[in-house]
Structure 1
């Protein structure tokens, strides 16, 4: 039995869909959800729903019964994520889960000097816990999603341009759908025990190039402006963006600028058995609908 946590999120649903497309029977897939009402689409596909909460250890132990492979999608509660994922790993060990698959992140800097250290801390903590658990594991060092680019670009790009302090540094963004397919391929094959896979695109692209592609797709030139971090944070604050999101966006932009997500090494193409979706392909599809 394969169990997918975070199953109502984008990556969780995409992974389950990929598993089904590969011929895995729905009754061999479980989805960990907090509320059954929010997972009726999964239930309709025949996927078994397991009710569990990262903050409720007993519910996790119950949900993990009969699970052989646990796909742990990192939680979104950054403040409590380390403690929550520790509970997941302890419950998996207690109930006898044979393999854990975890979505970590691509990075160059593991220290507190990283501009995204506040996000990285829980990932590094979880990786170490998994490796020390004695359970066979596979860790996916996922790069930034191509799917996040429209969020960085903003809705008013045609008037304001792309206003994002990432400099000219290139990153190997990859699509969420490709990542989900790669995970499904690993979940349904052998030879992945105690391995770490680098999940990045085969190309690196800058935010200036992103703006150029969007301009070509929409037929209107799109400027790229890389302000100072202070100017960027001030603009977001004046637009009433919550402080937590200002910190996250500013940190992410600085991480991109420092080359945290650039990559010349990737396992994604091999795991997919094809070239990953390029940034141009993704952006063309997304912005041709605008």
Structure 2
């Protein structure tokens, strides 16, 4: 196996590479990175390093020479993500790559999504399936790591104020999802499978407030907000309108049950139970 990891220096990509190094020889791993300053440290591990991004077709071709498997880590939503994903998929096919894996999102129903940027993940899945390549799709739950962004820096003074209602999310740590993905990539065949990496329990913001209360000794309350109240509360923060809209759409999908599906895929491919909410919050909030 010769595997290429794109987006290898991000948090998820780094976790994948870290576990792959335990499972397969370093010389069997190639990575695509944007930042020149990170190249030498990665090369020192024995990994093959190529500099480039999803818009650079010649860099993609160089990176995929003699590679049989590519893990496409989804691009940022700041650019033309769909075209960037297609560049990677098309180059893989042109280069004779046999297998492609993709980091998608675990949402219940693409037809009723509020956060339309999530649809781009499903469009990428469609394009991969139509490519004729053997594929593996990793539908990952919302990262537990982002909870401090949802709760805000002053959560221990103000509590939690979000328009998510009673909705729940099967939050899991990004590092553990990367570990499970690497275990699949290095130990299983590419048989057009879809994995849903979620925790084994789903949590509401009520659960998060309760856990933070227990961990900190301070009473934390969650106040479900309506959208207009939430918008008014956020205005003084100076958050850009486009970003505020994304937050509202995330919360709307949570409220509508898009993020609460539970599977054992993550547990099975970690070989242990995923980190619980309370354990994760203890680390994330340094409690």
Shorter-chain TM range is over 0.9
1:141-152 counterparts in 2 under 5 A? Answer: 141-152=139-150
Pick which of 240-249 and 83-92 moved more: 240-249
In the TM superposition, residue 59 of structure 1 has moved relative to its aligned partner by 1.8
In the TM superposition, residue 61 of structure 1 has moved relative to its aligned partner by 1.3
TM-score by length of 1: 0.94
Distance in 2 of aligned mates of 1:147 and 1:158: 18
In the TM superposition, residue 263 of structure 1 has moved relative to its aligned partner by 1.1
Q: Which of 137, 140, 144 is 1:139 aligned to? A: 137
In the TM superposition, residue 10 of structure 1 has moved relative to its aligned partner by 0.2
Matched residue, 1:220 = 218
Seen in structure 2, the aligned counterparts of structure 1 residues 137 and 223 have a Cα distance that, compared at 3 Å, is: same
Seen in structure 2, the aligned counterparts of structure 1 residues 219 and 110 have a Cα distance that, compared at 3 Å, is: same
Q: How many residues align?
A: 286
SS of 1:188's partner is: helix
TM-score by length of 2: 0.95
Matched residue, 1:16 = 17
Distance in 1 of aligned mates of 2:190 and 2:235: 45
Q: Which runs of 5+ in 1 are unaligned?
A: none
Contact map agreement 2:64 2:92 (CA 8 A) in 1: yes
1:66-116 Cα offsets, whole Å, 9 max, x none, are: 1111111000134410011001000000001111110000112212x4111
Q: Which of 142, 155, 161 is 2:153 aligned to? A: 155
SS of 1:139's partner is: strand
RMSD: 1.5
Contact map agreement 1:18 1:181 (CA 8 A) in 2: yes
Pick which of 86-95 and 170-179 moved more: 170-179
| Off by >4 Å, runs of 4+ in structure 1 | none
Distance in 2 of aligned mates of 1:139 and 1:207: 28
1:172 and 2:173 matched: no
Distance in 2 of aligned mates of 1:283 and 1:193: 36
Contact map agreement 2:169 2:203 (CA 8 A) in 1: yes
Distance in 1 of aligned mates of 2:58 and 2:123: 22
Matched residue, 1:116 = 115
Q: Which runs of 5+ in 2 are unaligned?
A: none
